[in-house]
Amino acid sequence: MEKRSKLLYEHRSEPLLPRRLFMRRLLFHAFFAGCVLIFSLGIGILGYHFLERMTWVDALLNASMILGGMGPVSQMTTTAGKVFASLYALFSGIVFLLISGIILAPFAHRLMHRLHLEDNPD
């Protein structure tokens, strides 16, 4: 049998991951999701600051609200800012799905793994 990378999930023929290691996997996924969130927020902050000429705090507020699904706070005044805001809103929807997948993946894998464990392995 070939050696598997530690980053991959366990195969269905392998035993269920112990709770302590599963919690570590959850923390890794949460950390990775947080990195994606911070990177995405940084894109929004930079875009609003440089294209719409907002202050750093206003850019943070607008980027956070769009990324959180609430919508923009400030009115866009420049054409570049309006185009950026629309593209960032679409990007934010995809990031929401991505982060949801990253966080839910360990739970979905554990459930599927548990359902496929053999009762009498040979």
Among all chains, which residue has been given the structure tokens 């969130």? 37
In a domain, 8, yes or no: no
Q: What CATH number is given to the structural domain containing 99? A: 1.10.287.70
Kindly state the DSSP code that residue 6 receives in the 8-state scheme.
T
In a domain, 121, yes or no: no
Q: Write out pLDDT tens, residues 30-75.
A: 999 999 999 999 999 999 999 999 999 999 999 999 999 898 899 9
Kindly state the DSSP code that residue 2 receives in the 8-state scheme.
P
In a domain, 53, yes or no: yes
- For the cut 80, the answer to whether the pLDDT of residue 19 exceeds it is yes
pTM confidence score: 0.82
Give the pLDDT mean for 3-24.
78
* Domain ranges, residue 63: 36-115
- The set of long-range contacts for 43-47, using a CB threshold of 8 Å and a minimum separation of 24, is 43/88, 43/91, 44/88, 44/92, 47/84, 47/88
Total domains, the chain: 1
Per-residue confidence (pLDDT) for residue 6, from 0 to 100:
58
